[in-house]
Amino acid sequence: MAKKNIAPTSKFITFEGGEGAGKSTQIVLLESFLRDRGVNSIVTREPGGSPDAELIRTLLVSGASNRWEPEAEVLLHFAARHVHLKNTIWPALERGSWVLSDRFADSTMVYQGDGLGVSKATIEFLYRFVVGDFVPDLTFILDLPVNIGLARARARSGDEDRYESLDYAFHERVRNGFLSIAEAAPSRYVIIDGEKGIDEVNEMIVNLIVQRFDVE
């Protein structure tokens, strides 16, 4: 699926990390910072981000941990990603807006690839088929020890706990997977210490946005 004509003012910023890393909090703070400076932006998430993709999200994030075979999970994630791109991400970028996404395809590579053992070649093939050559302009990886992240995540209420219920070793593989992809492409990925306070993390993110994209 080929992307449309993305406006030169647009940026696609993604937030990645393990469970309880604080992505949702930081993405809202960044959106507020951009809004105060007159930068049009939208906040979205994966899986989900459009009505049809949200239906698929429910299938993925709730229920028993063994609900899906790993290969089926990958296909569901890319099905959701297809409609998310078509209906939300690319139209916003065409309008000249920034798009801030709580997770994108890096999560699939890490959760289903490193975590569940799906061939990375398979995930890369599906990426090319669904996403093409489109990639985020910048990806923040919020990193923190697994025990701290899981404790934070499990303190939240709600039914979206399927991935949280997977074993500790799975979450260690996820953490190491994110660190590995960041090390391999430092020009796109920035690792943020998720153990630091909310305000300190926000300051680091904002400073990087200002430096990278000349936001005043």
Task: Tell which CATH classification among 3.40.462.20, 3.40.50.300, 3.40.50.620, 3.40.1410.10 matches the domain 12-213.
Answer: 3.40.50.300
pLDDT of residue 216: 76
- Reported pTM: 0.94
CA separation (Å) from 133 to 2, 4, 130, 141? Answer: 8, 12, 10, 21
Higher-scoring residue by pLDDT: 16, 9: 16
What confidence tier does 161 reach under pLDDT thresholds 50, 70, 90?
confident
Question: What are the start-end ranges of the H helices in the chain?
Answer: 23-36, 51-61, 70-84, 90-94, 105-107, 120-130, 146-155, 168-184, 198-213
Average pLDDT over residues 81-93: 97
- Digit-coded pLDDT (tens) for 18-64: 999 999 999 999 999 999 999 999 999 999 999 999 999 999 999 99
What is the residue-averaged pLDDT of the chain? Answer: 94
pLDDT at 4 over 70: no
Q: Where are the domains of the chain?
A: 12-213
What confidence tier does 1 reach under pLDDT thresholds 50, 70, 90?
low
pLDDT at 178 over 80: yes
Tokens 């105060």: give the residue. 36
